[in-house]
Amino acid sequence: MTFDAPTLIAAKRDGHRLPDAAIDWLIEAYTRGTVAEEQMSALLMAIFLRGMDAAETARWTAAMIASGERMNWRDLGRPTVDKHSTGGVGDKITLPLVAVVAACGAAVPQASGRGLGHTGGTLDKLESIAGFDATLSTARLREQLAEVGAAIFAAGALAPADAKLYALRDITATVESLPLIASSVMSKKLAEGAQALVLDVKVGSGAFMKSAAQARELAQLMVELGAAHGVPTRALLTDMNTPLGATVGNALEVAEALEVLAGGGPDDVVALTVTLATEMLALAGLDNHDPAATLADGTAMDAFTAMIAAQGGDLSAPLPVAACTETITAPAGGTMGEIDAMAVGMTAWRLGAGRSRPGERVQGGAGVRIHRRPGEPVSAGEPLFTLHTDTPERFGPAHAELDGGWHIVDSPASPPPLIIGAIP
């Protein structure tokens, strides 16, 4: 059969299902450049508006896996397990998590991405460390996993179709599509070859899934995609109405992750790290290890340091610091109320922590430091937020994004649970 992009765009625009052979052709043709960016942009918007059914999503995922290599680590000598987050604000969990799990005896081949929309990218964070190299050959990756137990790397030859689509979704307002999110996540994760997978599906204002029902539907779809490919997969639904931790931005979040690895750091970041590590170790058959102990005794920090060094990073070099800062102070005393994760994420994006077009450089030091978390007492005039950027003309738009995204209240409310649910 022969296919063409305009016909497929029109079919999806009108609400029809794309045939399996058409999906195979489309992904292969787009990967090699036969289907133009403008045409794929139109199709992505049609999918965003019309959706894809479960069978379409499964075929789309398989076609993206087939666009590149699929790794296999069964001879590594360690059980392999990975984690993926659907994206949040202040979500630096991957950094301490891979180190904790590696310190407990598993290998974590963590294929990661860059920032997408208002959410930060793990690679953007790590590349604020001097010398860090996210580009690893398969041979080098295998050696590092065997010796160190952890690697965080750019997907590269894994699902190259998704790499192109990922960047295009970021600039065409088509990020928040359930089938596109599910297929993007699972194509990379299944191609990277881990024997088990834990998913952190975010729920709330700062997540792509705003409601628990949406998040549960996405989680269920991804768990089913994993099972269909023979990879045991478990999903946790976690709260993303409030930013995770006290920092949002690349180098700021690296510094906070180092605090967690040193046995400190914000309670919510520590709790989610330990919870996800527990799930990963259970799937890897290593549930006799205590992930919290690796943070307390320094072995997780040792694993992280070894991973960064193996990828050329220098943790002794200072992290980037923004040239300019502005501080927002409390107009009155009381209790810090809710802090809207989306408002903070967009503020960091405006300050230069994210990008507005593919390939744009992000500012390593840009972002937001949160001085008072929800429920904490506030005195009039004390700092609440510090905004960081290298380009002071960004402060105006950043203030506009944050305005109305936080409140001081008379008495504290009960915080929502960090873990909302699990599948299966």
List active site positions.
84, 162, 169, 184, 188
Total Cβ atoms within 10 A of residue 330: 18
Contact 156, 150 (CB under 8 A): no
Q: How far is CA 110 from CA 136, 145, 208, in A?
A: 12, 10, 21
Could you give the angle at the alpha carbon of 368 between the alpha carbons of 241 and 291, nearest 5°?
Answer: 65
220 φ, ψ (degrees, to nearest 5): -60, -40
Q: Is 337 helix (H, G, I), strand (E, B) or coil?
A: strand
Could you give the angle at the alpha carbon of 338 between the alpha carbons of 336 and 344, nearest 5°?
Answer: 105
Q: How far is CA 52 from CA 12, 30, 46, 49, 182, in A?
A: 9, 18, 10, 10, 11
Q: Which residues pair with 378 in a beta bridge?
A: 334
Q: How far is CA 381 from CA 246, 270, 387, 404, 408, in A?
A: 19, 30, 16, 18, 12
- Give dist(CA 323, CA 347) in Å, integer: 17
- Give dist(CA 377, CA 394) in Å, integer: 30
Q: Would you state the structure tokens that stand for residue 183, as one six-digit string?
A: 């297929």
Locus of tokens 């180098």: 251
Q: At what angle do helices 267-283 and 250-261 cross, to 10 degrees?
A: 70
Q: Is 93 helix (H, G, I), strand (E, B) or coil?
A: coil
Label the pairing between strands 247-248 and 233-239. unpaired
Q: How far is CA 344 from CA 206, 239, 246, 401, in A?
A: 8, 15, 11, 8
- Structure letter (DSSP) for residue 310: H
| Sequence-ordered alpha helix ranges (H) in 104-228 | 122-126, 138-147, 160-171, 178-191, 212-228
Find, among 110, 171, 167, the residue nearest to 141 by Cα.
110
